[in-house]
Chains A and B, each alone.
Chain A
Amino acid sequence: MLFNSLTFVVFLVIVLALYYSKILSWTSKKGMLLLASYLFYGLWNPPLVILLWISTMVDWTAGKKLAAEESQRKRKFWLLLSLFVNLGFLAFFKYRDFLLDNFTSAVNAYGYGYEAQPMDIILPMGISFYTFQTMSYTIDIYKRKIEPAHTFLDFALYVTFFPQLVAGPIVRAQDLITQFYEEKRANFNQFAWGTFLLTIGLFQKIVLADILLADTSDQVFSSTAILHGVDAWTGTLAFSGQIFFDFAGYSTCAIGIALMLGIVLPDNFKYPYASIGFSDFWRRWHITLSSWLRDYIYIPLGGNQHGITRMYAALIITMLLGGLWHGAAWTFVIWGALHGLYLIMERLLRSKIHIKINAINGIFLALLTYIMVNFTWVFFRAREFATAKNMIISMLFINGEGEKIVETFDVIKVFLLISLLFMCHWMMRNTSMKEVSLKVNPWILGVFWAFMVFLIVISQGSGEQFIYFQF
């Protein structure tokens, strides 16, 4: 089920009515939320709910055993079982064809005429999100950082909680399960703020990503021509806006819906396009994934505790895996590698040059960071290396005479919208939407809110899937 659909509107109204009705106890309400979450997922493809059940059963059992067991050998076994099942799902459903393709290419490079039969397996929506979430549960129990969930219901709801099930935020057990232990209700202001977040999330997805930016981005990235620099930049900027509004829009909806239930989810985006440097970028972009990668890959690989060389190796491995997490393709690996290299270069520069950030050099550095990030988006969006190469050449204006394919209105629309996005991120980088909302006149907020609702309604989006569902 998509947030940007009529079905979801009806679904949410029913869930809220039951949640705030007095006929259900807290345990029954959690049971209702769990059933609603399975329905939310199952209406897309019912059999794939079984994967959720398997993941839930395995990690619940592993969590209990890890907490009770004293033998290190047995504890390792339960941890490995949990990792094996979750990573096995990922490998089978997400990476099987990719691994097979690469194996076939490698074997055929030595002259074997091997032909693999692609299985065309459906990719379960959000599998990368819920497997990472449940793995963090067992790993944290293994490290004795957290206690297992009090009840199976609390754990199952943690794995399946519908607002963040298919595209995050990836929530840690200690942040979410503990909220299920006592009855939660949103007060009116929380509920109203949750509704505002849901509105702004839908506005970002339906109006800004799908209506204003997606077509231009698709047009440019599906072109096989060597493009004019302006067209290449228009397409890349359009994609940078589209992916932000699409993904941040989903996260904002998720946070808003949870808040309407009185449950607090962590922020996933903090105005990333005004980041000063790449470390700052990863503290602001997909925060729950980057902190997951930091805690469960970068630090176990040694982090910054074992010398510079190992730190850089850990950094690049983490970013490569982060790239691969997004999709089973070499273009995503290159995207991750570029970010890894950026982070290494930044650390090298920071050790040599010390700049005191002020408003003037800050905005310049933020713009520079944003431009560099845009080069990485080319690899993220392009389906083939040839497209990425052509785009980069055009963006560097190496081609004097590239083909113009984007019309004047679309160029102006994209540059205007992205400039506004950048300025908005810059102005908001040290504050939050909540803080600003409390400062502005309620009338201004109300008019802005109504304006968003109006544009969502007249857009009549065709229910486009969120980009991150495929990851």
Chain B
Amino acid sequence: MKHKKSLSIAIALSILGITAWEIYWRSQGYFPDLDDDKYLWVKTRALVEDATEDDVVIVGSSRALFNIQLGQWEKLTGIQPIQLANAGATPLPVFHDIVENSSFKGTVVVGVTPPLFFSTTFEQAPPWSRASSRSEFYKNLTYAQRLNYSLSIPLQNSLAFVSNDDEAWIDDINLKALLKTIHLPPRTDKPQEPPFRRFQDIDINRNVRMKEEMVSDTAFANSIKTVWKTLLSGDIPPPDKEATIEYFLKDAEKFTSRGGKIILLRNPSDGFFKDLESKGLPRSEFWDELVTKANVPAYHYQDYKGLSAFKTIEWSHLSAKDADQFTENFVKILLEDGLITNLKNN
């Protein structure tokens, strides 16, 4: 009888506690949303298996994620691209995975963020492993994990306190993240990292939009700028242009020889990033060489009025509104150049 009473008390208090927790975080401005995690990525990666020649796959870094709006693309062409770009990662391992482990022969848009694209081919380096680990996870995904993720989606869509993003943002609200907010006097020499807040939302199709708050709250945008500066001010290994281009060309050749099309896209950047990229990875030595060697359609934002008329919010990514326009302009250019299919015309 004792345990029966305890069980009843436990059930009542658990429901009460969890409800109070949910209400509290909603009052703090949190709302139910999805996490950009490896599970969502592999769910999207699975779409490549059934993709047709008309389909478009996007690989790249965060700029390709933020700046290409899937809804806009679909509105103009009737095709929703498959978004496989990864923040803070080179697109090379994902492109390699598509070339080697699928029969896809549609169009791949490769977002080229120079500090990441030309960074490395070393498998343990973070720009590589952040992307390759997701491709590996796709290969090794179990049925249980697949089922688990499907069951988690309604919870993520209903409860604000469910937040378990792979990035481990400072404003995540799971227990581990909350414990990380406790600061005591340091005992190591490790420099304190600036707070990295989540500044985007993602949907079930992996369409990413920058939070409106980033546009209206300069302090928020500045906090992200501080993160970029800290990340890129340390000892960064020099770019490995030869190895990265060679790696890409090998895959590109295999992909195009089976009928696939590749489009290179250089997204806009400003301020600190633009300076760093133009000094450390000058266009003539990196982008131009890649385009010449790859011999595929390539779009550098500086060459197109419709792509350069935007100001990035934190030197690297476009606001949601600008991303809509950027996508529209980019898609129109591609349609004019006859590079992608427009199902709306057919």
Interface residues of A (CB under 8 A from B): 1-2, 5-7, 10, 42-46, 188-189, 192-193, 195-196, 199, 207, 211-212, 215, 404-409, 411-413, 437-438, 442-443, 445-447, 449-451, 453-455, 457-460, 462-463
Are the CB atoms of A453 and B14 closer together than 8 Å?
A: yes
Are the CB atoms of B163 and A407 closer together than 8 Å?
A: no
Collect the chain A residues with CB atoms within 8 Å of residue B143's CB: 42-44, 46
Are the CB atoms of B187 and A192 closer together than 8 Å?
A: no
Are the CB atoms of A460 and B18 closer together than 8 Å?
A: no
B237 at the interface (CB under 8 A from A): no
Q: In the complex, A404 Cα to B188 Cα: how many Å?
A: 5
Q: In the complex, A44 Cα to B142 Cα: how many Å?
A: 5
Q: In the complex, A10 Cα to B148 Cα: how many Å?
A: 10
Collect the chain B residues with CB atoms within 8 Å of residue A2's CB: 144
In this complex, the member of A6, A215, A447 whose beta carbon has the largest number of chain B beta carbons within 10 angstroms is A6
B164 at the interface (CB under 8 A from A): yes
Majority secondary structure, B binding face: helix
Collect the chain B residues with CB atoms within 8 Å of residue A193's CB: 3
Closest CB of chain A to B251's CB: distance in Å? 23
Are the CB atoms of A446 and B9 closer together than 8 Å?
A: yes
Q: In the complex, A299 Cα to B175 Cα: how many Å?
A: 48
Q: In the complex, A215 Cα to B176 Cα: how many Å?
A: 10
Task: List 13 additional contacts besides A43-B143, A457-B14; criterion CB under 8 Å.
Answer: A7-B147, A42-B143, A44-B143, A189-B1, A193-B3, A413-B179, A437-B6, A438-B2, A445-B10, A450-B12, A450-B17, A459-B174, A463-B148
Q: Give 1 or 0 for each of B1-42: 1 = CB within 8 Å of chain A CB.
A: 111111111111110011001000000000000000000000
Majority secondary structure, A binding face: helix
Query: What is the count of residue pairs linking A and B with beta-carbon distances less than 8 angstroms?
Result: 136
Q: Beyond A7-B148, A446-B8, A458-B174, is A409–B182 a contact (Cβ under 8 Å)?
A: yes
Size category of the binding interface on chain B: 35 or more
> CB < 8 Å: which of A45, A446, A450, A460 contacts B5?
A446
Chain B minimum-CB-distance residue to A446 = B9
Interface residues of B in 177-194 (CB under 8 A from A): 178-179, 182-190
Collect the chain A residues with CB atoms within 8 Å of residue B144's CB: 1-2, 5, 7, 43-44
> CB < 8 Å: which of B5, B9, B186 contacts A407?
B186
Q: Beyond A449-B7, A449-B10, is A459–B148 a contact (Cβ under 8 Å)?
A: no
Can you sample 29 A-B contacts with CB below 8 Å? Answer: A7-B147, A7-B148, A7-B151, A10-B151, A43-B143, A44-B143, A189-B3, A193-B3, A211-B176, A406-B188, A407-B184, A409-B179, A411-B187, A412-B184, A438-B2, A442-B5, A446-B8, A446-B13, A447-B13, A449-B10, A450-B10, A450-B14, A453-B14, A454-B14, A457-B14, A458-B174, A459-B175, A460-B175, A462-B164
Are the CB atoms of A195 and B7 closer together than 8 Å?
A: yes
Collect the chain B residues with CB atoms within 8 Å of residue A446's CB: 5-10, 13
Q: In the complex, A455 Cα to B18 Cα: how many Å?
A: 9
Q: Beyond A46-B143, A454-B21, A459-B174, is A192–B4 a contact (Cβ under 8 Å)?
A: yes
Closest CB of chain B to A411's CB: distance in Å? 7
Collect the chain A residues with CB atoms within 8 Å of residue B176's CB: 211, 215, 459
